[in-house]
Amino acid sequence: MPTITKGDKILVSGANGYIAMWVVRHLLERGYAVRGTVRSEGKGKYVKEYFTSLGFGDKLELVVVEDIEKEGAFDEAVKDVDAIAHTASPFHANVKHPDEFFRPAIQGTVGMLKSALKNGSKVKRIVVTSSCAAILTPTDKPSTFSEKDWNAASPKEVEEKGSDAPPMSIYRASKTLAEKAAWTFYEEHKSEVKWDLAVINPPFTSCSISYLTRNFVAYNLGFRRKIFFSPTFNLILQLTILQPPIHDVSSPASLNTSLKAWYDTVVADTPKSKEALAFSSGWVDVRDTALGHVLALEKEAAGGERIITTAVNVANSLPPSVYSNHKLPTGYPELLTKDTVYSIVYDKAKEERILGIKFHTKEETTKDTLEDFAKRGDKVLVSGANGYLAMWVVRHLLERGYAVRGTIRSEEKGKYVKDYFTALGHGDNLELVVVEDIEKERSTKQSKMSTPSRTLLLPSISMQRAQKAYVIDPAIRGTVGILKSALKNGSKVKRIVVTSSTASIITPSDKPVTLTERDWNTVAPKVVEEKGADAGPPTMYQASKVLAEKAAWQFWEEHKAEVKWDLTVINPPYPPIHDVKSVDSLNTSVKLWYDKVVDPSPKSKEDLAFSSGWVDVRDASLAHVVALEKEAAGGERIIATAGSFNWQEFINIANSLPPSVYPKHKLPTGFPEIVSKDMVYKTVYSKEKEERILGVKFHTKEETTKDTLEDLTRRGW
């Protein structure tokens, strides 16, 4: 049976769900196109925006299937897709009648198969999300279960008790009956179809209260002491718990059932009994369950199989985590011993033989989830929030779950920012405050420094103004001013990240040179000191970056014993989402790129052969956000560069792209011979520290060129 290949289109039902969002992400990242079903346009809005922000918008199609129980509900959705991942099925603890679970679970699953039989002429495989709820029969003795087992008890209990059966029994019965119905339908019709069936069974738990599994151990960053909490994983039915959610959640109360149970047990400081915390079962990270669905679509051997996807039960400890805002429950540490016996164990043999997933550990899952919860509660202050780099920083922060307070110089400048992020669905998490003059003493008092837990300073300097008063003084006073305000009122601030530049690192040289974070530009400040305004805009700008960064480091060294925050400086080298109305209103660096790569006016060979470092603004802004998150970034200056370039490289790339990318203009050709395998870049910046601490995956010159030209085309330039 042929399996799917890169470029195939995959149908994912319930695409806005907890598991489904991760399935969609894995598929898109592996080169597939995805058609997702959602119950309404409203539910699809967040999904589309999320994947568009990751660069996958053109590979994701969403269609509305309002009622999955309706006959023929998926008839149109299955047309022209190569495979199907059916994840849509309800799960909550408020069920009042068995039909609330049975109808969508059974009719939705069989309905999908019927539609594939009728209209799925291209379909090669269908993967259905079931659960270990369909495998496990509750027992008082330690037991090992495999794919050969079926839950016979829950359907019988619901048949006998009806609506009086416990909600979890109704859920378990629905998963059992839906999966059996799927296998029955397939067996009856497999001679009529070109597709086969695979079922993924992630683990679940069996008691009536939702708690988590044994041996979830973490460190409380604030005290650097080991904390044992909620050692049981039990009771979360489809315990596909974590990594943190990427579907649309606005508060802990709106978390999906399994993750909410994890939160209530591991994070919420409410009493739990020793018996509850001692209960054990299987568990799995949602990223691994989602990957299991994708691999089951790809692996030929998965056809006709039901496969348990469960992580191993191994106790380890975490490195320091980042959940210092809350007191975590300690539970009963004595429950964890080397002689611990797990009540429920799932056989991993088939998964290891067919799928071969490298599962996340409890430590990785716990750390990632606590970090996600922590940042969803953090507010980050971004100065100059309407700027070129700052707008991308704000976008990354909002997309990663942070709340943002941005400073702007006027209400008028803030209108575009607010409208832009409101259109992306982030309006509620963005607050803008006016700081008219960043040089004014105590001006950041207006930005309420006492609230944000992290701060980003993103100064904006125009190279059109060469006077010291317009360039150097604002850079120094604005930078030191926010540090002073943080010292005075920033009681919650954990880290401040300042945007500097490789302008503060590079010293002009006639020979090829490699520069690191240990280097400083000593020439520019000296030239400005000697020549004043006659030094020229570029030199004045370089001097401002050097002096502002040195002033920041000096202030921090003098006061670090008095504050709870540390300092990080990002030094980026020399496609906009901020408010620009014409080419002439582009910021300095993008305008320079436009003039060299797009503007057909003549340039000298020497000009186009000039080389230095470069970085895509999306990556420079992401580096700021990662520098806020990574503990190792504290006290560091970090060069954020994608590598070296010369202008001719970008020109050659632009001319190699299809005409549709930039159809309106004839691009300059320059001197193509400049680019050769033997060319030597005059300036190279070390990437060692960035790779070691931040690990940003930088855009390539080709990606940046294509995206920027397409953006210019959309703007009609």
pLDDT, one tens digit per residue, over 13-30 is: 999 988 999 999 999 999
pLDDT at 93 over 80: no
List the catalytic residues: 175
The predicted pLDDT at position 95 comes to 59
Closest CA to 28 of 50, 56, 69: 56
**Tokens linked to 311:** 């992580």
The pLDDT value recorded for residue 575 is: 47
The pLDDT value given to residue 74: 96
As a whole number, mean pLDDT of residues 143-154 equals 92
What is residue 163's DSSP assignment? G
Q: How far apart are CA 237 and CA 168, in angstroms?
A: 8
Distances in Å between the alpha carbon of 520 and those of 190, 504, 540, 706?
70, 6, 15, 34
CB neighbourhood size of 602 (10 A): 8
Mean pLDDT, range 88-110, rounded to an integer: 75
pLDDT band at 417 (very low <50, low <70, confident <90, very high): very high
Other beta carbons within 10 Å of 131: 28
What was the pLDDT predicted at 372? Answer: 75
pLDDT exceeds 70 at position 208: no
Inform me whether the pLDDT recorded for 639 exceeds 50: yes
Q: What is the pTM for the complete model shown?
A: 0.58
On the question of pLDDT at 211 being above 70, the answer is: no
Q: What is the pLDDT of residue 553?
A: 95
Q: For 311-361, write each residue's pLDDT tens digit.
A: 854 433 444 444 444 556 777 788 777 777 777 888 989 999 999 999 888
Stated length of the chain: 717
Helices 108-119 and 167-189, packing angle to 10 deg: 20
Closest CA relative to residue 710, chosen from 545, 513, 574, 575 = 575
Backbone dihedral region of 586: left (phi > 0), alpha (psi from -120 to 50 degrees) or beta?
beta
Report the C-alpha gap between 576 and 621 in whole angstroms.
Answer: 12
Q: Provide the pLDDT confidence category of residue 85 given band limits of 50, 70 and 90.
A: very high
From start to end of 149-204, where are the E strands? 196-201
Find the mean pLDDT for residues 513-522: 93
210: confidence class by pLDDT, cuts 50, 70, 90: very low
pLDDT in tens, 289-308: 999 999 999 999 999 999 99
Please list the residues that pair with 315 across neighbouring strands.
none
Query: Given this model, what pLDDT does residue 581 score?
Result: 64
Q: Where are the alpha helices (DSSP H) in 565-609?
A: 588-597, 605-609
Looking at per-residue pLDDT, the higher value among 223 and 37 belongs to 37
Q: What is the pLDDT of residues 109-135, one digit of tens each?
A: 999 999 999 999 999 999 999 988 899
- The three state secondary structure string of 404-472 is EEEEECCHHHHHHHHHHHHHCCCHHHEEEEECCCCCCCCHHHHHCCCCCCEEEECCCCCCCCCCHHHHH
Pairing of the two strands 83-86 and 9-13? parallel
Place of tokens 């495989």: 125
In sequence order, what are the beta bridge partners of 566?
Answer: 495
Q: What is the pLDDT of residue 253?
A: 67
Model pLDDT, residue 678: 86
User: What pLDDT is stored for residue 61 in this prediction?
Assistant: 97
Q: What is the mean pLDDT of the chain?
A: 81
Residue-wise pLDDT for 664-694, tens only, equals: 567 888 999 999 988 999 889 999 999 999 9
All residues at 6 or more sequence positions from 106 whose CB lies less than 8 Å from its CB, including other chains: 174, 177, 178, 181
Close Cβ partners of 642 (under 8 Å, ≥ 6 residues apart): 613, 614, 615, 616, 619, 698, 699, 700, 701
505 or 167: whose pLDDT is higher? 505
Which pLDDT score is estimated for 224? 25
Phi, then psi, of 238 in degrees rounded to 5: -80, 80
Work out whether strand 306-308 and strand 196-201 pair parallel, antiparallel, or are unpaired.
parallel
Residue 580 — pLDDT band, cuts 50, 70, 90?
low
Over residues 474-488, mean pLDDT:
89
At 469, the pLDDT band (50, 70, 90 cuts) reads low
pLDDT in tens, 227-284: 222 222 223 333 444 455 666 666 666 677 777 777 777 777 677 788 777 767 778 8
Separation in Å, CA 281 to CA 164, 203, 217, 238, 480: 25, 8, 16, 11, 54
Q: Write out the DSSP string of 614-668.
A: E--HHHHHHHHHHHHH-GGGTT-EEE---EEEEHHHHHHHHHHS-GGGSTTSPPP
